[in-house]
Structure formats: C-alpha cells, structure tokens
C-alpha cells in the first residue's frame, strides 16, 4: 500500500468561548475546511465540581449542516425544538442533522452535575450538499456499545462510528459518504488503514504521540491533514496510549457561506436563515421543568 503524505499539520489552538477555553484545529487561517468537514472543537478534559456546568450551551439555532458530538468522558443532555432529548455518557455519539433548521441546547446531564467528574468531547461540523441543505432535521443518539469494535495489531482498537472498516458498518446514517473512526493506539503498535482514494482524510490526535512512515513524530492536540496521494495511512504509537478521531469524506465541492450557526451556499440563503429563525420557522424550544 502506498501511504498518503501530509498536506498540513494543524495545531489545536486554544480559543476562548465565554468562560471556557476549547481547542480548535479547524478552521484555521491556512485551511478553512477539509471538505466536507467545517469545524472541529476539542473541549476538556476538565475536572468538574458537583453542581458546576462548564459547557452550558443554552438554546441556539442551526441550519445547513450536521453538528456531531463525540463524548469521551462525563455526561451531557441534549434537547431540541423537535422534542428530541438525549443523555450522553462517555463513549456515546450524537449526530444531529440541522437541515432546514433546528434549535437545541447541550448541558451537563443531571447525574453528571450531581456527581462531578471529568468532561471531555469533540464537536464536529459536517457540511451538507446543496441538495440536502433543507432536509428535515434528524437526531441520532448512538450509545457506546452500538459501534463495531475491531482489534488491530499491537493491541490497537478501532471503533466504527460512520462508514465501514474491515466489513463492519458504523451505525451513523449520513447524507454523503463519511468515515468517522475512533482509534486507540498503544505504544509500539503500528496500524495500516485503507482510505478510499477519492476521500479527503484527516486524523485528530486528542493526546499521546505517534510517528508516520516519514519518520516524523507528532504530539497530541494536532490535526494531521493528508494529501490525496495514496491508498491509506500508517500510524505508529509512541506513547502509552494515543487517542485519535479519524475523518474522511468525499468532498462536496460546493461554495460555503457561514454566519454564526448557519452554513449555506449563498449570502441570500444566510439572510433567509436569519429571517426564518426570527419568524419561528425553525421551531420553538421548550425547556423541561
């Protein structure tokens, strides 16, 4: 297998969001998207005291893309204007299609806020093609035990969230071909992973350290963006454990216009989204008592 080489190494820069600091490797000034992936935020790991909610994201709208939350540790509660409620614990994933418009909130779950603990996760924004921008919203709440778990050489383990690997299909339903794999890579393990040649591909390192066939090593909190010059990638663990989110997809090739929580193809569509939200056409969020 000819392995892909790197196009960019994108550090996850600290970014202030109100009272909290998250780490953002995408977008950057150098790379505005890795089509179809628009944004990646790594939050935590935070030690959370009982009763304190560092990630209290009150009701806010989205249109035109899919916000996806990978929760590694802690507990979150999702609620939206389509009457979906989800409780996430460590290892769960929620894949929300905003489509024509939805209002949602994400907060610490009741049990997690009562006990406290460590909170860590990733929010990923996946773009929708022009023909899918205005689909009906959809909410997928996927539990940790629903993902195929594949044993790889050297004790490495790969979870399939979206797409397939070694004949195992992930449970996430997507509007365009997407790969989302979670990889635990121990020290000394080397894995070779095939990637379709027409997919853009990137690997986000939450922590740890690894090396590539080039001989170069990379630390955690870096996004490795690959060129489309090979049939796969090779990763070698250089720390007791390196955790990665591996992302691939066929590029949509559509123009992107973004304003805050709306991602469309033209400025006119952005103005329409703002108007529709103000007129209540994205539904109404009702908080639980």
At 57 the pLDDT is 81
User: Distances from the Cα of 248 to the Cαs of 203, 204, 271, 289, in angstroms?
Assistant: 9, 11, 31, 40
71 pLDDT band, cuts 50/70/90, is very high
Taking only the tens place, the pLDDT of each residue in 236-249 is 999 999 999 999 99
289 pLDDT band, cuts 50/70/90, is very low
What element of type H or E holds 274? helix 267-278
DSSP letters along 229-268, please? -SSEEEEEE-SSEEEEEEEEE-------EEETTEEESSHH
At 6 the pLDDT is 98
State mean pLDDT over 28-50. 97
> Would you say residue 38 has pLDDT above 90?
yes
Interatomic CA distance for residues 42 and 46, integer angstroms: 11
Kindly tell me the number of DSSP H helices and DSSP E strands found in the chain: 2, 26
CATH H superfamily, domain 147-249: Jelly Rolls (2.60.120.10)
On whether 52 is known to bind a ligand per the annotation, the reply is no
> Would you say residue 120 has pLDDT above 70?
yes
At 283 the pLDDT is 85
Please name the CATH architecture into which domain 13-52+63-146 falls.
Sandwich (2.60)
At 284 the pLDDT is 80
Contacts of 145 (CB under 8 A, 6+ apart): 91
User: Distances from the Cα of 22 to the Cαs of 35, 162, 282, in angstroms?
Assistant: 22, 25, 28
> Would you say residue 270 has pLDDT above 60?
yes
The tokens of 97 are what? 């299609």
The tokens of 239 are what? 């720390």
DSSP three-state, residue 88: strand
C-alpha dihedral, 67 to 71 to 76 to 80, nearest 10°: 20
User: Distances from the Cα of 67 to the Cαs of 136, 211, 264, in angstroms?
Assistant: 14, 30, 14
C-alpha angle 34/37/41, rounded to 5°?
105
285 pLDDT band, cuts 50/70/90, is confident
Of residues 165, 210, 229, 157, the one with CA closest to residue 1: 229
> Would you say residue 140 has pLDDT above 70?
yes
C-alpha dihedral, 154 to 159 to 164 to 169, nearest 10°: 130
214: number of Cβ within 10 Å: 10
At 288 the pLDDT is 59
> Would you say residue 286 has pLDDT above 90?
no
On whether 259 is known to bind a ligand per the annotation, the reply is no
This prediction's pTM: 0.96
State mean pLDDT over 203-210. 98
On whether 60 is known to bind a ligand per the annotation, the reply is yes
Q: Which residue has the higher pLDDT, 55 or 48?
A: 48
Taking only the tens place, the pLDDT of each residue in 13-32 is 999 987 889 999 999 999 99
On whether 42 is known to bind a ligand per the annotation, the reply is no
Contacts of 217 (CB under 8 A, 6+ apart): 209, 210, 211, 238
CATH 2.60.120.10 residue ranges for the chain: 13-52+63-146, 147-249
> Would you say residue 11 has pLDDT above 60?
yes
Q: What is the 8-class DSSP label of residue 109?
A: -
> Would you say residue 231 has pLDDT above 70?
yes
**What are the residue ranges of helices labelled H in 49-153?**
110-115
């Amino acid at each position: 297998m000819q392995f892909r080489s790197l196009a960019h190494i994108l550090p996850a820069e600290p970014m202030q969001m109100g009272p909290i600091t998250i780490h953002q490797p995408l977008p950057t000034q150098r790379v505005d998207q890795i089509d179809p992936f628009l944004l990646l935020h790594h939050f935590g790991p935070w030690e959370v005291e009982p009763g304190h909610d560092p990630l209290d994201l009150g009701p806010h709208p989205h249109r035109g893309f899919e916000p996806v939350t990978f929760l590694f540790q802690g507990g979150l509660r999702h609620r939206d204007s389509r009457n979906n409620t989800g409780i996430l614990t460590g290892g769960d994933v929620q894949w929300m299609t905003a489509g024509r418009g939805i209002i949602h909130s994400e907060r610490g779950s009741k049990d997690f806020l009562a006990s406290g603990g460590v909170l860590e996760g990733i929010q990923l924004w996946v773009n929708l093609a022009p023909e899918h921008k205005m689909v009906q919203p959809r909410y997928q709440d996927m539990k940790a035990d629903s993902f195929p778990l594949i044993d790889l050489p050297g004790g490495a383990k790969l979870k399939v969230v979206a797409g397939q690997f070694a004949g195992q299909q992930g449970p996430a339903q997507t509007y365009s071909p997407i790969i989302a794999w979670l990889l635990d890579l121990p020290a000394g393990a080397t894995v070779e992973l095939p990637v379709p040649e027409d997919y853009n591909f990137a690997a986000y390192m939450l922590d740890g350290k690894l090396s590539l066939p080039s001989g170069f090593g990379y630390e955690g909190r870096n996004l490795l963006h690959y060129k489309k010059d090979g049939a796969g990638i090779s990763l070698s663990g250089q720390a007791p454990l390196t955790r990665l989110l591996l992302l691939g997809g066929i590029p949509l090739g559509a123009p992107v216009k973004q304003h805050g929580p709306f991602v469309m193809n033209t400025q006119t569509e952005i103005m329409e989204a703002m108007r529709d939200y103000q007129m209540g056409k994205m539904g109404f969020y009702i908080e639980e008592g």
